[in-house]
Amino acid sequence: MVRVDSDLMKQAILNLVLNGMQSMTAGGTLTLKARRDDEMILAEVQDQGCGIPPEAQEKIFELYFTTKGDKGGSGIGLAQTYQIMQWHYGSVEFDSIVGAARRFACACQRWSRNQIAKRR
């Protein structure tokens, strides 16, 4: 079980989906996966877009940072996703292969029913 604001989590994942779709200018496959392990719930978005240049990778979660230039990127989506995950005591991480693909993973702590009951 995971305790989240469902509207905020939808927004976080939507931001990653839109970002992935925009990065695949020549088309490609966008893959969404959800999985869990003993401690975490993960939502992954993988695209076959252009990847993230190494010089931009440290900045992608900064508000108003965009690699899209005059192609319409606001630089808000990834920063918002990062903030939403922080509010949920989670994280967002990425892997990127320049010119080939990238994968974003949002992770939240998994809670047992007993842990949730203790917090009430």
Token pair listed for 53: 């240049």
Token pair listed for 43: 């939502």
Q: What are phi and psi of 26, to 5 degrees?
A: -100, 15
Q: What are phi and psi of 20, to 5 degrees?
A: -65, -45
Q: What are the chain's domains?
A: 6-119 (3.30.565.10)
Contact partners, residue 103, CB within 8 Å, separation at least 6: 44, 45, 46, 47, 94, 95, 96
Single-letter code of the amino acid located at 60: I
pTM of the model: 0.86
**Interval 85-117: pLDDT, tens:** 999 999 999 999 888 889 999 999 887 666 666
pLDDT band at 120 (very low <50, low <70, confident <90, very high): low
